[in-house]
Amino acid sequence: MPSQQSRSGTLVMEPEQQDFTVTYDDVRLAFEENQVLQGISFQLRRGETKVLLGVAGSGKSTILKLGLGLMKPDSGRITVLGQEVSSMPEEDLFALRRRVGMVFQESALFDSFNVEENVSYRLREEHVAEDEINRRVIEALRFVELEHTLKKFPSELSGGMRRRVAIARAIITEPEVILYDSPTGGLDPITSTRIIELVVKQRDVYKTSALLVTHRLQDAFTMASSYFDTKANEMRPVTAETPVDTNTSFLIMRDGKVIFDGSAGELACTDNEYIREYIS
Amino acid sequence: MQLISPVEIVKGNVLAVQDYAQLSGRALKNIFKQPRYVADTLQQADLIGVGSLPIVVLTGFFTGAVLALQSSATLIKFGSLSLTGQLVSLSMVRELGPVLTSLMVAGRNASGMASELGSMKVTEQIDAMRALGTDPTKKLVTPRVVSSVVMLFFLTIISDLVGLTGGWVVSLLLLGLNSYQFWNQAYQNLVAEDVTMGLVKPVIFGFIISTVGCYYGLSTKGGTQGVGRSTTQAVVAASVLILVVDFFITRIIMSWFGSGI
Ligand SMILES: Nc1ncnc2c1ncn2[C@@H]1O[C@H](COP(=O)(O)OP(=O)(O)OP(=O)(O)O)[C@@H](O)[C@H]1O
Ligand SMILES: [Mg+2]
């Protein structure tokens, strides 16, 4: 991996894992005959956002679920925040999962809870005081610009609103790592850009590490070429005058293997036929 | 259609039993561990206990009534119609109260649990819950097990009492027995063995109903159709298991008290 300034100044960890919040090492998984993952290896640096690309059914969602220990790989090692999730028993995983946020592809909101209860779920589980919960729920919903839907149920929301509620639910405890599964899937360009702006804000303001699955290549490029301007409170394209490191990399999968892992610049000058076709 | 080898079927069933046993074990262990979901438990208790009360009262009453009616035909031949009270009370307390109440609650709540948890499973809400750091066996299964066991215990007692009342009404109005005869017979002949049997059964049946319902719910596969399948399977499995286990509990408690053969 190219060495880059680590943002984990205050965190004490084993030296070799200092820079990486998530590592996959030769992970393999098959569903009966279907060899979905055939040796996936990559690392996610602290503060980095890695965009996972690949055709439908290439195993992107599976990779994220493995990262949370929701499924177990057939072989290989996965570590998240210094702990090996691939071999941990289910009971021990719950504490680790509280430090990781996940946005599911289909949002997976609790449909018998309203928006407020969905978003505050983790805080209620941790018995945070009620007025503190209210404050943080409003804050998280304001972040996704949905503060007026507190009492609505998921069935009363549009797909894009559900996605944003799911993001609010994932970020409310300010997790160190967030896994976004197709947060812009099936949405109009305006809503997608809004969601990408949220992801960029999370990346630049809170320095969260993230894995993000998407089908929309333009989203990936927007992320790699934009930064969040906290003063203006909006996303701005990186220009020559604002040489900000956007901390975004790309990972492309094909047939259960990683065929590309690197920065936007490296992606632009690759000579792999398949990738050229994919990104054109 | 593809044929599945019998070995695969047996293997599948053994694995299912193992999963079921593990789930039940964890549900029990969670009772002694933090965090406890008191609010969820009370909500389930309300749903199971209060919600099932009308059907339990109705079935209990008419079971007691029909018992009195049926037994009168036989008892009258031996000139011992006055034993109706004893017959109704023994049958209700030992068998019909616990079993019929459990079957009713199984039909109502094992299916409810299986379909609720099954829908959550197929819409990834169970995974979302795990991802948010909550153990679904703690938040969903244990509250259902605890409230089913407690509620079934009390529902059975209510069913027994209402059943006796049904028998009494029939004895009084149709068989021409007097109230004292009926209640005296009903009460005098109940011994420790009957009461133990009548109170142990609902506890075990409540456990069966909730764990079977949750197991089928949590192992749902295959979308909406899968939810429907789990729901029916949960009711069938819970009902059959209740009747089978009933036989063995009866046998064991009888031998404890040294009665029967
Ligand atoms: N629970 C499962 N049982 C059996 N096969 C599965 C299961 N989950 C995923 N698969 C298979 O694994 C492969 C990868 O699935 P996955 O959901 O990870 O794809 P994906 O890359 O997220 O696709 P998409 O871009 O459409 O979301 C698919 O071929 C799918 O059929
Ligand atoms: Mg997917």
pLDDT tens digits, one per residue of A188-240: 788 788 889 889 988 988 889 999 999 888 888 889 888 888 888 888 888 87
Q: What local confidence, expressed as pLDDT, does residue B1 receive? A: 59
Q: Is the dihedral of CA B102, B226, B43, A125 positive or negative?
A: positive
Collapsing DSSP to helix, strand or coil, A260 comes out as strand
Does pLDDT of A87 surpass 70?
A: yes
Chain-chain contact of B128 with A102 (C-beta, under 8 angstroms): yes
Does pLDDT of B255 surpass 70?
A: yes
A64 and A124: one domain?
no
Beta strands, E only, A32-161 = 34-45, 49-53, 75-80, 83-84, 100-103
- In this structure, which ligand is nearest to the CA of A67? 1
* Domain-located, residue A189: no
The whole-number average pLDDT for the span B85-110 is 94
Q: What local confidence, expressed as pLDDT, does residue A17 receive? A: 47
* Domain-located, residue B20: no
d(CA B3, CA A69): 34
* Domain-located, residue B25: no
A95 and A128: one domain?
no
**Residues from chain B contacting residue A68 (CB–CB below 8 Å):** 130-131
Cβ count within 10 A of residue A12: 7
Expressed in angstroms and rounded, the spacing between residue B220 Cα and the centre of ligand 2 is: 20
Q: What local confidence, expressed as pLDDT, does residue B261 receive? A: 60
* Domain-located, residue A142: yes
- Segments forming the whole domain that contains residue B75: 36-256
Q: Which of B35, B124, B130 sits opposite A97 (nearest CB)?
A: B130
Does pLDDT of B173 surpass 50?
A: yes
Q: Which two tokens stand for residue A106?
A: 């289909």
Residue of B nearest to A94 (CA): B133
HSE-up of residue B91 (Cα within 13 Å, Cβ side): 20
* Interface contacts (A, B; CB < 8 Å): 50
* Domain-located, residue B21: no
d(CA B227, CA B239): 18
* Domain-located, residue A1: no
Ligand 1 atom nearest to CA at A105: 27
- Chain B residues 81-120 with CB within 8 Å of chain A: 120
**Residues from chain B contacting residue A108 (CB–CB below 8 Å):** 123-125, 127-128
Q: Which two tokens stand for residue A61?
A: 């969602």
Expressed in angstroms and rounded, the spacing between residue A61 Cα and the centre of ligand 2 is: 4
Angle between helix B6-30 and B192-218 (nearest 10): 110
* Domain-located, residue B245: yes
Cβ count within 10 A of residue A6: 13
* Domain-located, residue B15: no
Helix (H) or strand (E) holding B223: helix B223-256
Does pLDDT of A94 surpass 70?
A: yes
* Nearest-CA residue for atom 6 of ligand 1: A31
A88 and A211: one domain?
yes
The whole-number average pLDDT for the span B157-173 is 95
The whole-number average pLDDT for the span B62-67 is 95
Chain-chain contact of A109 with B132 (C-beta, under 8 angstroms): no
Q: What local confidence, expressed as pLDDT, does residue A109 receive? A: 95
Q: What local confidence, expressed as pLDDT, does residue A12 receive? A: 47
Chain-chain contact of A110 with B127 (C-beta, under 8 angstroms): no
Chain-chain contact of B132 with A91 (C-beta, under 8 angstroms): no
Mean pLDDT taken over chain A: 87
d(CA A102, CA B129): 11
Q: Which of B123, B134, B135 sits opposite A108 (nearest CB)?
A: B123
Lowest mean pLDDT among A234-248, A250-264, B85-99: A234-248
Q: What local confidence, expressed as pLDDT, does residue A10 receive? A: 43
Can you say whether residue B124 is alpha, beta or left, with left for phi > 0 and alpha for psi between -120 and 50 degrees?
left
- In this structure, which ligand is nearest to the CA of A53? 1
* Domain-located, residue B30: no
Q: What local confidence, expressed as pLDDT, does residue A9 receive? A: 41
Report the b/e string of A151-173 with b at 16+ CB within 10 A: eebbeebeebbbbbbbbbbbbbb
The answer to whether A37 and A29 are in contact (CB under 8 A) is yes
Is B128 touching A (CB cutoff 8 A)?
A: yes
A69 and A123: one domain?
no
* Domain-located, residue A252: yes
A77 and A125: one domain?
no
* Domain-located, residue A81: yes
Is B38 touching A (CB cutoff 8 A)?
A: no
A120 and A93: one domain?
no
A136 and A201: one domain?
no
Expressed in angstroms and rounded, the spacing between residue A37 Cα and the centre of ligand 2 is: 13
d(CA A64, CA B19): 25
B218: Cα separation from own chain's centroid: 20
Edge-to-edge strand list for the sheet holding A83-84: A34-45, A20-31, A75-80, A83-84
* Domain-located, residue A2: no
Residue A279's pLDDT band (boundaries 50, 70, 90)?
Answer: confident
A160 and A229: one domain?
no
The total domain count for chain A is 2
Expressed in angstroms and rounded, the spacing between residue A55 Cα and the centre of ligand 2 is: 10
pLDDT above 70: percentage of residues in chain A: 94
Q: Which two tokens stand for residue B234?
A: 């949960």
Pairing outcome for strands A20-31 and A75-80: antiparallel
A125-143: per-residue pLDDT in tens? Answer: 999 999 999 999 998 898 7
- Segments forming the whole domain that contains residue A136: 104-174
Distance linking the first and last C-alpha atoms of chain A: 26
A75 and A212: one domain?
yes
pLDDT above 70: percentage of residues in chain B: 98
* Domain-located, residue A185: no
A92 and A202: one domain?
yes
CA distance B211 to chain A (A): 19
* Nearest-CA residue for atom 25 of ligand 1: A56
φ/ψ of A120, rounded to 5, equals -85, 0
Q: What local confidence, expressed as pLDDT, does residue A195 receive? A: 85
Q: What local confidence, expressed as pLDDT, does residue A18 receive? A: 59
Q: What local confidence, expressed as pLDDT, does residue A2 receive? A: 41
The answer to whether A182 and A219 are in contact (CB under 8 A) is no
Expressed in angstroms and rounded, the spacing between residue A251 Cα and the centre of ligand 2 is: 15
A93 and A201: one domain?
yes
Mutate to test the pocket of ligand 1, among A24, A29, A34 (most ligand atoms within 8 A of CB): A34
**Residues from chain A contacting residue B33 (CB–CB below 8 Å):** none
More confident residue, B261 or B113: B113
* Domain-located, residue A215: yes
B186-236: per-residue pLDDT in tens? Answer: 898 889 999 999 999 999 999 999 999 999 999 999 889 999 999 999 999
User: Pocket residues for ligand 1 (CB within 6 Å)?
Assistant: A 31, 34, 36, 54, 56-62, 105, 182
Is A31 touching B (CB cutoff 8 A)?
A: no
Is B3 touching A (CB cutoff 8 A)?
A: no
Pairing outcome for strands A257-263 and A248-254: antiparallel
A93 and A205: one domain?
yes
* Domain-located, residue B207: yes
Q: What local confidence, expressed as pLDDT, does residue A6 receive? A: 41
Residue A46, Cβ density class (10 Å: 0-12 exposed, 13-18 middle, ≥19 buried): buried
Q: What local confidence, expressed as pLDDT, does residue B242 receive? A: 97
ipTM, two decimals, is: 0.87
Q: Which two tokens stand for residue B259?
A: 């009665």
